[in-house]
Amino acid sequence: MRGIIAAGTHIPHYRLDRTEVAAFFGKGGGRGQRSVASYDEDTTTMGVAAARRALASTDLEPQELWFATASPAYLEKTNATAVHAALQLGPEVGALDFGGALRSGAGALRTALTAGVSTLVAAADQRGGLATSADEAAGGDGAAAVLIGDDTDGPVIAEYLGAGVATEEFLERWRLPGGDRSRAWEERFGEVTYGPLMSQAWERALAATSLSADDIDKLIVTGTHGRAVARNAKRLGVRDEAMIDDLSGSVGNTGTAHPLLVLSSALEQASPGETIAVMTLADGVEVIVLRTTDAISAVSPAMSTAGQIASGTTVSYGKFLSWRGMVSVEPPNRPLPNRPSASAAHRRDDWKFGFVGSRDRSSGMIHLPPARVSEKGGAVDDMEPVPMADTVGTVVSFTIDKLVYSPSPPVVFAVVDFDGGGRAPLELADCGPDEIEVGMRVLPTFRRLFTADEIHNYFWKVAPVRGVR
């Protein structure tokens, strides 16, 4: 049996209330909320967050890591290698980007399901457009990761039954490399063009799985063309109650990540024996069909998608625009940070990307960053690596620094003592200056500190522990 072994999602902590757009500009926006990546998040960091959640419930180390996004942090340089490093996967594990097109997330998922090796498929996107645009309101930021394998790799929670594909070349939505917004042809064209493609892919999927539309317990249809999704999905013949909320009201459409995100969310709420179909509209149509197994009952994520949606904090439209680089806000009058050194960073990949410290074997003292000589006892080169990324810590002292450079001042900063030993002074993520307090429980989170000289400086911050753990 092949299928999904684990899944995880990352929905950024911040939300934009869509009514704020019209309140500011007199037009645009809409109802509900969309998720907003914080200023220190990008598709790579969100991919790391989702992948960590997916791997939290399994001991399986995948043989491949595939990362899909239409908003890559780098071109030419593989972004999946940063995810790979943050997850501390072995060097024999492949890491590939599926980049550029919105279809690459659903395509990577289907390809992994039909491939012969265990594969972690992570997809992330940051969606938006010009101020007041429909894309700005309908888009969302987020990531999802799905671990695919055989039952010999670990318990399969959703068995892969089959797929259906329809491909056609037509210009419905596009963006030039480096462009600040997507363009779309008039709406009716997409609606009528997607209709037949949806039917074709659907029929192929049902034929491949020997199922009828009636057999489908849950149907997920996602795509950036809202009308094509809404109008045509009704014609697929599934029961009304099988239609799954696509999270467009609470999260927005997270592009490349969205089919994986809604699927992962659905799996968190699924019972054994449910047949789930996922249809993705993007330059044609992708359909996969899965059936949950008894192992689904054991799924109990530390932070569910619903929990993440419920625990968000709204951000003002002004801050949203500044985080997106659409409004320039006066920075503190301090020098810009220097670019990190590639060679210096490479020597400390495990620390910088994996948050791995060292523990002195004689004194037991944990050193963050890792050290060669022990602070206690002075033992030399007698340290073992100690991964800290999943260790909860406590804020023992903090400050708010309004003078220092930050992409979004002020800096909220804390001295953190980790459970079981180890201290590090770290920046807070997803935490306003009024929220922090001594005693707050925090977890490491992989973030982009800043970008200097076209180099993204990734490292770890800590974020408040929220929701059930």
What does the radius of gyration of the chain's CA atoms come to, in whole angstroms? 22
Secondary structure element (H or E) that encloses residue 112, with its range = helix 104-114
Q: Could you tell me what percentage of the chain is helix, strand and coil, using 3-state DSSP and rounding each to the nearest 5?
A: 25, 30, 40
Residue of 352, 359, 447, 466 interacting with other proteins (CB under 8 A): 352
Choice between 31 and 346, CB closer to other proteins: 346
Residue of 262, 282, 295, 368 interacting with other proteins (CB under 8 A): 368
Residue 65's φ and ψ, nearest 5 degrees, are: -125, 120
* Under rule CB under 8 A, residue 385 binds other proteins: no
Residue of 77, 234, 361, 402 interacting with other proteins (CB under 8 A): 402
Residue of 186, 344, 381, 434 interacting with other proteins (CB under 8 A): 344
Number of residues interacting with other proteins: please give it, by CB under 8 A. Answer: 47
Single-letter residue type at 72: P
DSSP string, 80-106: HHHHHHHTT--TTSEEEEEESSTTHHH
In the complex, the smallest distance separating the C-beta of residue 352 from other proteins, rounded to whole angstroms, is 5
Structure tokens at 169: 């070349």
Residue of 96, 306, 345, 379 interacting with other proteins (CB under 8 A): 345
Closest by CA position to 157, among listed 293, 56, 264: 293
Residue 196's φ and ψ, nearest 5 degrees, are: -65, -35
* Under rule CB under 8 A, residue 306 binds other proteins: no
In the complex, the smallest distance separating the C-beta of residue 405 from other proteins, rounded to whole angstroms, is 7
* Under rule CB under 8 A, residue 121 binds other proteins: no
DSSP string, 385-441: EEE-TT--EEEEEEEEESSS--SSSSEEEEEEEETTS-EEEEEBSS--TTT--TT-E
* Under rule CB under 8 A, residue 392 binds other proteins: no
Residue of 195, 385, 457, 465 interacting with other proteins (CB under 8 A): 457
Give the CA diameter of the chain: 74
* Under rule CB under 8 A, residue 335 binds other proteins: yes
In the complex, the smallest distance separating the C-beta of residue 347 from other proteins, rounded to whole angstroms, is 7
Q: Which stretch binds other proteins (CB under 8 A): 27-35, 144-152, 247-255, 422-430?
A: 422-430
Choice between 66 and 355, CB closer to other proteins: 355
* Under rule CB under 8 A, residue 39 binds other proteins: no
Number of helices and strands in the chain (H, E): 12, 22
Q: Which stretch binds other proteins (CB under 8 A): 48-56, 110-118, 230-238, 414-422?
A: 414-422
* Under rule CB under 8 A, residue 401 binds other proteins: yes
* Under rule CB under 8 A, residue 382 binds other proteins: no
Choice between 235 and 348, CB closer to other proteins: 348
Closest by CA position to 265, among listed 67, 108, 44, 50: 50
* Under rule CB under 8 A, residue 367 binds other proteins: yes
Cis peptide upstream of residue 369 (ω within 30 degrees of 0): yes
Q: Which stretch binds other proteins (CB under 8 A): 38-46, 95-103, 167-175, 338-346?
A: 338-346
Give the count of beta carbons closer than 10 Å to the beta carbon of residue 307.
16
Choice between 325 and 425, CB closer to other proteins: 425
In the complex, the smallest distance separating the C-beta of residue 78 from other proteins, rounded to whole angstroms, is 19
Choice between 151 and 401, CB closer to other proteins: 401
Rounded Cα distance between 417 and 395, Å, is 7
* Under rule CB under 8 A, residue 405 binds other proteins: yes
* Under rule CB under 8 A, residue 438 binds other proteins: yes
* Under rule CB under 8 A, residue 312 binds other proteins: no
Closest by CA position to 466, among listed 397, 392, 413: 392
Residue of 255, 407, 422, 444 interacting with other proteins (CB under 8 A): 422
Structure tokens at 104: 């690459």
* Under rule CB under 8 A, residue 341 binds other proteins: yes
* Under rule CB under 8 A, residue 333 binds other proteins: yes
Choice between 45 and 63, CB closer to other proteins: 45
Residue of 160, 317, 320, 351 interacting with other proteins (CB under 8 A): 351
Residue 319's φ and ψ, nearest 5 degrees, are: -65, -40
* Under rule CB under 8 A, residue 77 binds other proteins: no
Q: Which stretch binds other proteins (CB under 8 A): 13-21, 226-234, 255-263, 394-402?
A: 394-402
DSSP string, 286-339: EEEEEEE-GGGGG---SS-HHHHHHT-EE--HHHHHHHTTSS--PPPSSPPPPP
Residue of 101, 243, 400, 465 interacting with other proteins (CB under 8 A): 400
Give the count of beta carbons closer than 10 Å to the beta carbon of residue 347.
11
Closest by CA position to 280, among listed 230, 227, 220: 220
Residues that bind other proteins (CB under 8 A): 333-335, 337-341, 344-345, 347-348, 351-352, 365, 367-369, 375-376, 396-406, 411, 413, 415, 417, 421-427, 438, 449, 457-459
